[in-house]
Structure 1
Amino acid sequence: MIYRAGQTVLVQGITGKQGTFWAEKMIAAGTKLAGGVNPKRAGETHLGLPVFGSAVDAVRQVHCDIAVIFIPPGMARDAVFDAIEAGIGTIVVLTEHIPARDVIDIHARLRDSTSRMIGPNTAGIVTPGEGFIGIMPGDNPNVFKPGHVGVISRSGSLGTLICLNLTRAGLGQSAFIGIGGDPMIGTTTRDALEALDRDERTRAVALIGEIGGAMEEQAAEYARRMRKPIVSFIAGRSSPPGKKMGHAGAIVTEGGGSYESKRRALESVGVRVVDTPNELATYLANLPAEQAA
């Protein structure tokens, strides 16, 4: 789930407005695009890349490590199914508002496959200096620069702010993993934490969570065994109980998902939880140089 230079990306929905815009940005950042998918324009070229009728057709002709989905909600399930059938290892699903029944079907299909999904409703993944996949400003050196802090975030906007602060603090990022804000996602906070723990470039982790669900509490169980320092910011501290926030997954239910329970779980295993996003970069900048510089 961490993008590496040389990995090839298939853009499903490349000829649409958003697909075109972000494909150009990805190319500018160094991401290696293998081509795109649009059944109605198969055989054409777009942005100098081949357009295929399906992901299955694409992998018969080009190598694809990752698929990214720029497809409307009602058609997203079939696009993910296509990428799974093609055997593509990582599928980045940017689409939000996918019907719940369709998301359940996607998860069922994933269980019988070798594919991993990031999202739905993710902003994508970024490896500064190598490339990005999704709708993050991965081509902007004022926001992203190579460094040693791995960033995990449900929110793309909060993730961008944290990465901007890290860059301004002179730290940079080893990788950004946007897990997505929907309640049924393929890659969890714990999954992303494990990936950064294994990553040799990552020396410290910035974990941006929010109220709702239990992913931060579950991640805390793994964080207990990590030697890399982790600092966290949890959004939604002032939200009243039962309030639905910007993400579909940010709903506090009785007995779980609250700001207090998440903070308590993380602090109990040695994770530093800060009160504001700006404090996160400041805290990491003050760690010993060998840990986060």
Structure 2
Amino acid sequence: MAIFLDKNSKVIVQGITGREGAFHTQRMLAYGTKIVGGVTPGKGGTTIESGQPVFDTVKDAVDATGATHSIIFVPPFAGADALWEAHDAGIQLAVCITEGIPAHDMLRVVATTPGMRIVGGNCPGLISPGKSLVGIMPGHVFKEGNVGMISRSGTLTYEIVDGLTRAGLGQSTCVGIGGDPIIGTTFVDCLRAFAGDPETHAIVVSGEIGGSDEEDAAAFIKDHLPDKPVVAFIGGRSAPKGKRLGHAGAIISGNTGTPESKVKAFTEGGVPVADRPSQIPALLAERMKPIPV
């Protein structure tokens, strides 16, 4: 089982004929993702090299293909409109890869798209190993299994998952929620979904400085996840206050978003925090309980 995404998910690509959209469409198809078409205004009626049809609008694509998921590769100025268009067409889950969408635009989008889950913006997407990949993740480092993964950082996701896979700990679903200040899906949203997934036996949470999402996650784990082992990691512990670390949301402002507050929250919730990503597989193995056969 998986959360948010499985082998039956029908996916369209908004921006399918652009450089990034075209490249990652082929990577997702190679992984086995059910890409049923794409959208580029003005190119409706054409097809891409692998045969998928291109439509002028998301509504046309959904009507013709029955698509349920969308992945968005558009410039920042068009990000909000792309998300609204996906929502209006009935898309259930939209993965927004685009980085740099204005925060006010994302606030308005998140507030006005009920019923559609948004992953991102500024995210690497998500993958249910062995089933489907909707994003820019390197599929070869993932292995089907029972560990759920949530991360604000794409590259940290790949590093941590590679370590898990090498240690024989496969994954159920891995979600890169994105590093912008305003995102559509939070740690708590993913934790709530993993809590209801009987095939996710353990969870890794990879956070970073800035904001309070990690503290919220720690509180949720303490109150609602007593039976699933969780291990955490916080990136950016050496970053000085006021300096942005890679992501727009990764900045310590005053006493908010400090690594100390995040580590303390997880520790008080009974969640061990790795000092380095390489420690995560061993910490997780120690925490995992035998699964009844």
Aligned-residue offset at 1:287: 3.9
**1-side partners of 2:258 and 2:193: how far apart?**
26
CA separation in 2, counterparts of 1:287 and 1:263? 18
Q: 1:151 is matched with which residue?
A: 149
Q: Is residue 2:184 matched to residue 1:186?
A: yes
- Looking at structure 2, the residues matched to 59 and 245 of structure 1 have their Cα atoms a distance apart, in angstroms, of 38
Secondary structure of residue in 2 paired with 1:45: coil
- In structure 1, distance between residues paired with 2:220 and 2:289: 24
The CA distance in 1 between the partners of 2:137 and 2:194, in whole Å, is 19
Offset from partner CA, 1:131-152 (integer Å, 9 cap, x none)? 11011012x1xx1011111110
Tell me the alpha carbon deviations over residues 99-137 of structure 1, each in whole angstroms, 9 at most, x when there is no partner.
Answer: 223223312322xx3111110101000111011101101
Deviation of 1:278 (Å)? 0.3
Match of 1:160 among 155, 158, 161: 158
The aligned residue for residue 36 of structure 1 is: 38
Identity score, percent? 46
Q: CA RMSD in A?
A: 1.6
Q: Distance in 1 between matches of 2:220 and 2:288?
A: 23
* Partner residue in 2 for 1:94: 97
Encode CA deviations 1:245-272: one digit per residue, 9 max, x unaligned. Answer: 1000011122321001001111111111
List alignment gaps of at least 5 residues for structure 1.
Answer: none
Q: Which runs of 5+ in 2 are unaligned?
A: none
The equivalent of 1:242 in structure 2 is: 242
Find out whether 1:18 has 2:20 as its counterpart: yes
Q: Tell me the distance in 1 between the aligned counterparts of 2:256 and 2:102.
A: 25
Give the Cα–Cα distance (whole angstroms) in 1 for the partners of residues 189 and 291 of structure 2.
Answer: 22
Residue 59 of structure 1 aligns to a residue whose secondary structure is helix
Whether the 8 Å CA contact 1:126–1:177 is kept in 2: the answer is: yes
Structural mapping, 1:86-235, within 5 Å = 86-110=89-113, 113-138=114-139, 140=140, 143-224=141-222, 225-226=224-225, 227-235=227-235
Deviation at 1:65, TM superposition (A): 1.2
2-structure distance, mates of 1:34, 1:77: 23
| Paired residues, number | 288
Counterpart pick for 1:3 among 2, 5, 9: 5
TM (normalized to structure 2)? Answer: 0.95
CA contact (8 A) 1:148 1:204 kept: yes
- SS of 1:23's equivalent in the other structure is helix
| CA distance in 2: counterparts of 1:289 and 1:172, whole angstroms | 15
1:63 aligned onto 2:66:
yes
Alpha-carbon distance in structure 1 between the residues aligned to 2:260 and 2:213: 14
Q: Write out per-residue CA displacement over residues 192-230 of structure 1, whole angstroms, 9 at most, x where no aligned residue.
A: 111111112210001000000000101111101211000
Q: Secondary structure at the match of 1:279?
A: helix
Q: Secondary structure at 1:286's aligned position in 2?
A: helix
Cα 1:129–1:228 shift into 2, 3 Å: same
2:84 corresponds to which residue?
81
In the TM superposition, residue 289 of structure 1 has moved relative to its aligned partner by: 5.7
Whole-Å separation in 2 of the counterparts to 1:116 and 1:283: 31
Q: 1 CA distance for matches of 2:233 and 2:102?
A: 30
Q: Answer yes or no: is the 8 Å Cα contact 1:229–1:291 preserved in 2.
A: no
- For residues 291 and 73 of structure 1, the distance between their equivalents in structure 2, rounded to whole angstroms, comes to 45
